[in-house]
Amino acid sequence: MSAPDLSHFHCPPGTRLILEVTGLPEKFASACVGHARGRFVVTQMPVLPETTREAFYQMLYPDNAVIVRYLHEGTVVGFTAQVIKCIQIPFPLIFLTFPKRLESHDLRRHPRVSCCLPGQAVINGEGVAGMVLDLSHSGCLFSATVPDTPPSVAIDDAILLRCGIFGQGEEAGLAGVVKRVALSGRRLELGLKFRQMPPPTQEAINTYLDQALSVLA
């Protein structure tokens, strides 16, 4: 477990959360509604069966501790907060104190190496030039500057990624699945998970990563 800086707290509305409320053995599924940095975090009230609803509400008294966990880019991020207040009207919400510290645990099977490799993503048949900004045996981060009307891309879309280390020629490329999409202005970032990898491409990536990790170690 590592302790990232709070400036890296990234939990936008809709992020799925797991809540552990002190005094209750169960874990409860919720979602982030929003937060005010340094002040509070707002979550949805979990959908509860009638048999546990009353016990859950009884534990939502002010200052009771709650452990919150969520997934961000392959990493489980967690923090401890205290209940400020819960409301039912106009919507059932829980107000928690803003975290003082974050804990994270990387779930990725393979370490990622930062890099800056020219590449091209083929999105819906259209080639988009950009850069591979990090790389592992199982995936990568691709970044590109896109037109004012960016190409349509969504989670689980199939992408063909071309890069010099995958091989040369028009046909050289590596099939991937989109697992993260971020668009800020004209900057598009795609987190890709590689699919079946031809042995020559796998060997080329292994060689590159082994060399990079030996230098960075």
For the domain that residue 137 is a member of, what is the CATH number?
2.40.10.220
* Residue 200 domain-assigned (yes or no): yes
Question: Cα–Cα distance between 189 and 183 in angstroms, integer?
Answer: 6
Q: Which domain holds residue 55?
A: 6-106
Note the maximum CA span of the chain: 65
Give the pLDDT of residue 113. Answer: 82
More confident residue, 125 or 42: 42
Q: Do residue 68 and residue 143 come from a single domain? A: no
Q: Do residue 18 and residue 83 come from a single domain? A: yes
Q: Do residue 17 and residue 38 come from a single domain? A: yes
* Residue 144 domain-assigned (yes or no): yes
Q: Do residue 118 and residue 96 come from a single domain? A: no
The share of the chain scoring above pLDDT 70, in percent, equals 87
Return the minimum-mean-pLDDT range out of 7-16, 152-161, 183-192. 7-16
Q: Of 106, 136, 152, which marks where a domain is finished?
A: 106
Reference 30, options 65, 75, 70, 73; nearest CA is 70
Q: Do residue 26 and residue 96 come from a single domain? A: yes
Q: Of 79, 106, 133, which marks where a domain is finished?
A: 106
Q: What's the domain count of the chain?
A: 2
Q: What is the pTM of this model?
A: 0.51
More confident residue, 63 or 2: 63
* Residue 1 domain-assigned (yes or no): no
Q: Do residue 140 and residue 179 come from a single domain? A: yes
Single-letter residue type at 63: D
| Mean pLDDT of the region 193-201 | 84
Token duo for residue 210: 């082994």
Give the pLDDT of residue 1. Answer: 44
Q: Do residue 102 and residue 118 come from a single domain? A: no
Q: Of 59, 79, 106, which marks where a domain is finished?
A: 106
Backbone angles phi, psi at 153, to 5 degrees: -150, 145
Residue 150: pLDDT over 90: no
* Residue 89 domain-assigned (yes or no): yes
Residue 170: pLDDT over 60: no
